[in-house]
Structure 1
Amino acid sequence: MKPSSDASSDALHIALISIHGLIRGHDLELGRDADTGGQTLYVLELAQALARRPGVAEVELFTRRVEDPAVSDDYAQQTEQLNDKLKIVRIDAGPKAYISKEQLWDHLDVFADNMANYFRRKARLPDIVHSHYADAGYVGSLLANQFSIPLIHTGHSLGRVKRARLIASGLNTDQIENLYNMSRRIDAEEHTLATAERVITSTHQEIEEQYEIYDFYQPEQMRVIPPGTNLQHFKPPQGNELSGELYQRLSQHLKEPDKPIILALSRPDQRKNISALVEAYGESSQLQDKANLVIVAGNRDDVDDLESGAQEVFHKLWASIDRYDLYGKVALPKHHYRSEVPEIYRIAAASGGVFVNPALTEPFGLTLIEAAASGLPIVATEDGGPRDILSNCHNGILIDPLEPKTITSALEDILAHAAKTKEMIQQGLQGVQTHYSWEAHTQSYLEMICPIIKEAERLERKPLTRRQGLYKDRAFVSTLDQNLMEYPQALQQMLAKLKENRKTTLFIIATGRRLDSALRLLKQHRIPEPDVLITSGGTEINYAPKLTTDKAWEHHLDYHWMPHRVRAILKDYPGLKLQPKSEQTHFKVSYFIDTEIANLEEIKCLLHQEEQSVNAMLSFGQYLDILPIRASKGMALRYVADRWQIPLEKILVAGGSGADEDMMRGNALAVVVANRHDEELSQLTDLKHIYFAKNSYEKGILEAFDYYDFFGTCQSPLTAPKEG
């Protein structure tokens, strides 16, 4: 038996596979657990949209059958007919009970065999199999190879990226393996990439930052087809939005509620950068005169009950509101229901407002599409998915999330030019219909799969091989200011080498700068986001691609840390002056130091006498950072190396100032680039594993790559075994 699109009918038969979670044709239990989230909604809406297409004869959505008193009997039905062209087929595999996706791996071969038996009982095979997530990718690969059916795959998330987020949550490598079967997941993803004819992603950034790190990645295999948006839910104002109960709740604390609404809607997460929006609004009397600011940031009863990151976001927002005296101009509603979100957009649109997404990083930007579909112009971060959205919809302005002035300027521009804004709104509504509706999605989808089914556009397989290690096995660490800011051509050569070896090499930036300052400098010099960012002198660790903060590291640093006591003890110490607020963080008290007046050893002694367990770090002869005793760039680097299971002997550290010394001591390979601050590291000249480069900045780093054969043997020639 074989696919029969060349039989009596050319209408397509499509099989979708989404194994884990709870899937049914009505009342999806979104958010019930980690497995019943966005993927289940995406797959169901895709199936429904495909079934509406005239060229599609049948859509079958395959998932696992569950018989469990803890869940609805709906999930025990072997088939659920949704309409004459669409049904859900539930396959028996493993225990009858509902189990998490991490427990499914031993049962996937049974799922594949039982799904194959289902195919054999039918009159024809599907024309295409489309798998969703790694578990379905594994099953889809087996069926595609067994029956010679083309495989399409959507990853939704990837194991190698997920592993970085789990490391950030505080789990070690063994825990990640035991809890998440990560090596099996990544193997399944590689196997799927080796089999699939096409892989569908939501954005170009998803390809560049996630799929490129896989061994069987092929650029020709990837297709960007953004998910559809339910335009029945998200639609322009109907005329009664400003008279309802929800509007009263949103505007109850505003002095002049009739003004247009600048709307932001996101989780209370540092990466969402909402505080920059408040700063942008506070800096502009023009904006305050013309519009109110409404920030919908999750739900809260008592802020002190929220996790620490969310608490910090709200305290920052309230501090900015107080600093700029924005009372009565900014609303931070405490509660809203998920079902109210479409109406919130419509209220902002009916008021003549604008939607803002100022996130530091935004892989896709679903809220922007929802806002556009609701008749709002948008102001959005230039990072990631919003670039694609505005390129398609032409309905707003991209801003630099690290520069609040660009947010201010964009909002002033939109609110000041009614005719231009009206054109943006219309272009946004049309753009969503053309590019982000389910009709548009399925149109692009069918245009992609039909030539594959007819064997006109099969993927030409390149000779790709798996490398030995599953994960990266070495790391390159560099500071910013004294290493990467001088020779643009050499910098690009260095970055090209790192990109060429990104599957094996972890790229780490370690700097005394704050995260936002470091990101600004990276952007200015066109340095791509590293895998790991160690900032604020080693007190903060963030991981790509979503700048996920390592909460376990923060908890580790809090030991005996009392910054208010440090500031009080050093308040009148001669030769010290506090740096601006922008340079202070919760785990870093920063001073300018005049070393002609202030004595570093005396400062350390004074803090010790006052029972303060701290690290005092001097850099560039003029900056003094007081950190928790457990914090430094070297300690942070060792923590990252341990989490990622990379031996120090395979880590190359490039440094140029005294603040880099504890990263360079010990077992790591190191290079001191020949800059004007290398005298601060002159005491390291007798250490064999530290190479003093003849060249400065990026040229010195390239010299060290060759000296250590970093991308090859990765060892010092002084310690390499002698031949013969």
Structure 2
Amino acid sequence: MNTYANPLYLILISPHGLIRGENLELGRDADTGGQTKYVVELARALAQRPEVGRVDLLTRRVVDAQLSSDYAEPVERLSDKARIVRIECGGLAYLPKEQLWDSLDNYADNALAYIHEQPHMPHLIHTHYADAGYVGAHLCSMLEIPLIHTGHSLGRSKRKRLLAGGLARQEIEAIYNISRRIDAEERTLAAASSVVVSTHQEIQGQYVLYDYYQPDQMQVIPPGTDLNKFYAPQGDEAQSDIAKQLARFLTHPDKPIILALSRPDPRKNITTLVEAYGQSPQLQEMANLVIIAGNRDDIRDMDAGAQEVLTSLLMTMDLYDLYGKMAMPKHHQADDVPQLYRLAALSKGVFVNPALIEPFGLTLIEAAACGLPLVATEDGGPIDIVSNCKNGLLIDPLDGEAIAQALMDILSDQGQWQRFAQAGQQGVRAHYSWQAHVEKYLAMIQPLVEGSRPLQRMCLSRRPAHYREAAIITDLDQNLLGDDTSLSAFVALMRQYRKQVSFGIATGRNLESALSVMRKHKIPQPDVIMANLGTEVYYAPDLLLDSAWKKHINHLWFRHEIVEILSQVPGLSMQPKGSQSPFKISYYMDPNVAPDLQEINRILHQQEQTVNVIFSRGQFLDILPHRASKGYALRWVSAQLDIPLENMLVAGGSGADEDMMRGNTQAVVVGNRHDEELSTLAEVDKIYFAQQSYAAGIIEAIDHYDFFGTGKGAAS
């Protein structure tokens, strides 16, 4: 890259959190995390370049007796060409970012005054997070210089996570000012000349939800990795403390290591990995399995999600008798992580990430930097990483046999192992080091600074209506699925109207089964999945389980007692384990032998069990909590997403869908499902019976209701 005639003066803005050059207090609170580390390292890395003359990182000045006096210093030098500049914002006491919104105009004015005091105008401003974006949009409009923005996280996704965690919409507004944040994000996207993201999935799965979505102005530049910490084995790893810890668990500790490292989160899908290993004697013979799933003292003291994962891992290990072949230590230190990668690489092992969803995949980059080949989920960040580094294999995370086979393919071919190991190290240096990061960064800003790429100001206007005030919710089997041609047409419609209409799946399948079917048929991830007949609700983009719904339906639910009562009823046989869930008891029912539904309800009521009994497709009997069903889940989601029932098009095809289709929704029964179970719905005026089958029937209903408000057919 050519050196600029005038060295660059760059301003980075990150108002919230506690930012200083050394000893960052990462994790002190929700505002002092990865972003604070990123902006400091970015400032240092940029300042090392000859094209860059000066970097100022603007943050907030904090004078607080409870905190270090470092945060009160107006200026802190990071290097000869980089410094932290602390600008006053409202009062001096430390405040969480949610309480800064009313002071951001004051901050912008103070920052503008600081800039005018400098001998030269900055060439551009790079803002980090929504609050900085708000300030930067104001400054850049005044100074007529380019604005670069990195969101780090987005308000629309945050709101879904908070809703899933059980907070009411009013509480979210009161605590997090989420509407102001989203509005600031929209304004920033409209003003920004470029938006820097870590993966293509951020563009396609998160930013696409914004009115001012401009994919052509979004640049994928992954954050840098510290290659002074993550590097190839030096030969002494086998003597490390963590190696000695692992050896306690393993009968043959010298075997290659299959290493997995993640939080104990259901979405990380670690149990599927253990099952794949347990079901493959050949893989067990080839390698040991090491699972690093956070730190624990007593599993009973951990949150419900972590308890569920860790209990499942231990039970699966016991089921397949993996003692001596699998290690899952209770504790590890942060400094042990690079040693674990190197230990696995020294053993000629493999790093595996079987997550259901993986937006970035930092552990994959760290493992690659240490010369460890990868097996990773074919989702999100891993696709970019393996494409760039060519150092491993992508797998369907729900296909245990495919996971085992990919691991064996790498472990059994030492030539391929060596090629993957070397390619990974080279790929990280080329694409994921700080040097690579600033190379791409400077190449991106060069046209803006030189004026060869003019500043672009969007002329879009915000839609006056609520964002995504409508939704299409459909079952999967024999409803959305069944005809690939019409399914493709339906998927194209959902992509076309993505900003206007949410898309949801309501299914009797469990989450893993539903995801597997959607992956097979190339159905994009829905905004919401109501799985296991509505007893579980998950929100995109991270498949967050709605814990508030789970707590809500647990009322008066006594699963073991119900199973015991119904074990005495003739004509009922339990469905396989995969069809059961904590809030769904599933049977095959022989109507010629079993009592009718009224009698089954009476038996349960006599034993003081208040439940919801659902019979579908002539043979399936499901017992749910009395507060749970697809219909109840739909109404819960309607409230959570603030979408009126009247604005929901619901497509169903079995008795399990009936209460979802009744009421104020716009509903359709597709042509292939006009059977006795739903015949009574023909008497309900608002329910449309389509002539066409499968997804074509849903498209027919979209036309019938003019659901997109075009006054034309869906195909128009």
TM-score normalised per structure 2:
0.97
Secondary structure of 2:43's aligned partner: helix
Which of 575, 590, 607 does residue 604 from structure 2 map onto?
A: 607
Mapping of 1:468-483 within 5 angstroms?
Answer: 468-483=464-479
Does residue 556 of structure 1 match 2:563?
no
- Between 1:681-690 and 1:31-40, the stretch displaced more is 681-690
Report the CA distance between 1:487 and its aligned residue: 2.4
Pairs within 5 Å for 1:524-673: 524-598=520-594, 599-673=596-670
Q: Could you tell me how far apart the structure 2 residues matched to 1:67 and 1:652 are? A: 54
Report SS of the residue matched to 2:476: coil
Structure 2 partner of 1:80 = 76
- What residue number does 2:398 align with? 402
1:600 offset after TM fit, Å? 2.1
Shift of 1:8: 9.8
- Which of residues 162, 173, 179 is equivalent to 1:183? 179
After superposition, residues 367-382 of structure 1 pair within 5 angstroms as 367-382=363-378
Please tell me the residue identity of whatever aligns with 1:92. E
**Selected match of 2:697 from 678, 683, 700:** 700
Match of 1:307 among 303, 306, 314: 303
Deviation at 1:677, TM superposition (A): 4.9
Structure 1 residue 431: Cα displacement: 0.2
Shift of 1:463: 4.0
**Conserved in 2, the CA contact under 8 Å of 1:292 and 1:330?**
yes
Separation in 1 of the partners of 2:32 and 2:675?
54
Q: Distance in 2 between matches of 1:252 and 1:557?
A: 43
- C-alpha displacement of 1:152: 0.4
Q: Deviations over 1:287-306 (max 9, x none)?
A: 11121111000111111111
Q: Which residue of 2 aligns with 1:129?
A: 125
Match of 2:57 among 55, 58, 61: 61
> 2:109 aligned to 110, 113, 124, which one?
113
Paired residues for 1:406-555 under 5 Å: 406-458=402-454, 460-461=456-457, 463-555=459-551
Q: Give the residue type in structure 2 aligned to 1:42.
A: Y
- Deviations 1:484-543 (CA, angstroms, capped at 9, x unpaired): 112222222222222222212111100010101101111111110000000001110001
Indicate the SS of the match to 2:335: helix
Partner of 2:251: 255
The match for 1:287 is: 283
> Structure 1 stretches of 5 or more lacking a match?
1-5, 716-724
Aligned-pair distance for 1:251? 2.5
Query: What is the CA-CA distance between 1:61 and the residue it aligns to?
Result: 0.5
From the superposition, tell whether residues 8 and 493 of structure 1 become closer, same or farther in structure 2 (CA, over 3 Å).
closer
SS in 1 for 2:84: strand
Root-mean-square deviation (CA), in Å? 1.6
**Shift of residue 444, structure 1, vs aligned partner:** 0.3
Contact preservation (8 Å) 1:220, 1:459: no
Match of 1:161 in 2: 157
Q: 1:226 aligns with which of 219, 222, 225?
A: 222
How many pairs are equivalent? 710
- Contact between 1:169 and 1:552, CA under 8 Å: does it hold in 2? yes
Q: What does residue 333 of structure 2 align with?
A: 337
- The CA distance in 2 between the partners of 1:129 and 1:352, in whole Å, is 46
1:277 counterpart residue number: 273
Q: Is the 8 A contact 1:633 1:660 kept in 2?
A: yes
Report the Cα distance in structure 1 between the residues aligned to 2:156 and 2:471, rounded to whole angstroms: 16
TM-superposed CA distance for 1:687, in Å, is 1.3
What secondary structure sits across from 1:57 in the alignment? Answer: strand
Q: Which amino acid aligns with 2:266?
A: Q
State the SS of the aligned residue for 2:479: coil
One-letter code aligned to 1:373:
A
Aligned counterpart for 1:104 among listed residues 97, 100, 104? 100
Counterpart position of 1:327: 323
CA displacement at 1:685 relative to structure 2 = 1.4
Post-superposition shift, 1:442?
0.2
Q: Which amino acid aligns with 2:196?
A: I
Residue-by-residue CA offset, 1:558-612 (whole Å, 9 max, x unaligned): 1121111111111142211111111111111111111121122221211111111
Once residues 324 and 461 of structure 1 are traced to their aligned partners in structure 2, the CA distance between those partners, rounded to angstroms, is 60
Q: Could you tell me the TM-score, scaled by structure 1's length? A: 0.96
> Which residue pairs with 1:720 in the alignment?
none
Q: CA deviation at 1:9?
A: 4.3
d(CA) in 1 for partners of 2:50 and 2:293?
42
- Counterpart of 1:722 in structure 2 is none
| Aligned counterparts of 2:189 and 2:387: Cα–Cα separation in 1 | 29
Q: Is the 8 A contact 1:708 1:714 kept in 2?
A: no
Q: Paired residue for 2:190?
A: 194
